[in-house]
């Protein structure tokens, strides 16, 4: 299958994903461009495809277990292909104390790749993103905006486009 069409400049890529298969193609490509220590925000409404993208990313690296949004536990760990993933779903997050008590602060280090759904629910606590992926829901497809905010993010975006 061909890659989804990409357009954009240095810091932003816009992408139309026609269906879930296109999401999988993009995720496979992204999986080759991510680095330890990266923080990636996934922004979009319920059903926008945030978890689908994360699942496809892990699958592309060889993970075959279950990947489900950690809506109640807030955090799920995955170790695959020598990479350490932290998948946050902060939809139900609502207290700064919980952030400290759960030890979330320590998850953001040079090693972990942190993929965060609903980062806006923990504003001021979640470290800044290297990349944000914004999902727009269309009736049968999704539009993505991928933005780099740091040097490591820009390198990732550059690799995505080549
Ligand atoms: N590119 C796409 N085009 C159309 N439907 C998609 C696409 N990507 C994902 N979907 C569908 O949209 C839904 C997204 O659900 P999910 O990934 O759980 O959303 P979120 O985590 O953002 O709440 C799933 O039913 C999935 O099959
Ligand atoms: Mg989700």
pTM over 0.85: yes
Alpha carbon of 104 to ligand 1 centroid (Å): 26
Choose which residue among 16, 17, 20 to substitute to test ligand 1 binding: the one with the highest number of ligand atoms within 8 A of its C-beta.
20
CA of 49 to the centre of ligand 1 (A): 3
Options 3.40.50.2020, 3.40.50.300, 1.20.1630.10, 3.30.360.10; which CATH number does 6-161 get? Answer: 3.40.50.300
Q: Ligand 1 in contact with 51 (CB < 6 A)?
A: yes
CA dihedral over 71, 49, 33, 40, signed as positive or negative: negative
Q: Computed over its alpha carbons, how large is the radius of gyration of the chain?
A: 15
108-152 pLDDT, tens per residue? 999 999 999 999 999 999 999 999 999 999 999 999 999 999 999
Taking the chain (162 residues) in runs of 10, the rounded mean pLDDT of each run is: 54 95 97 98 98 98 94 95 98 94 97 98 97 98 97 95 84
Locate the domains of the chain by residue range. 6-161
């Amino acid at each position: 299958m061909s890659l989804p069409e990409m357009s954009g400049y240095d810091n932003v890529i816009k992408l139309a994903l026609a269906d879930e298969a296109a999401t999988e193609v993009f995720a496979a490509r992204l999986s080759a461009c991510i680095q330890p220590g990266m923080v990636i925000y996934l922004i979009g409404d319920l059903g926008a495809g945030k978890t689908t993208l994360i699942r496809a990313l892990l699958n592309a690296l060889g993970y075959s277990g279950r990947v489900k949004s950690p809506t109640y536990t807030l955090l799920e760990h995955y170790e695959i292909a020598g990479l350490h993933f932290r998948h946050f779903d902060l939809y139900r997050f609502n207290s700064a104390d919980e952030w400290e008590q759960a030890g979330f602060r320590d998850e953001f280090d040079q090693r972990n790749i942190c993929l965060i759904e609903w980062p806006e629910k923990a504003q001021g606590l979640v470290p800044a993103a290297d990349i944000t992926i914004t999902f727009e829901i269309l009736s049968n497809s999704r539009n993505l905006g991928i933005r780099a905010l740091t040097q490591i993010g820009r390198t990732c975006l550059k690799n995505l486009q080549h």
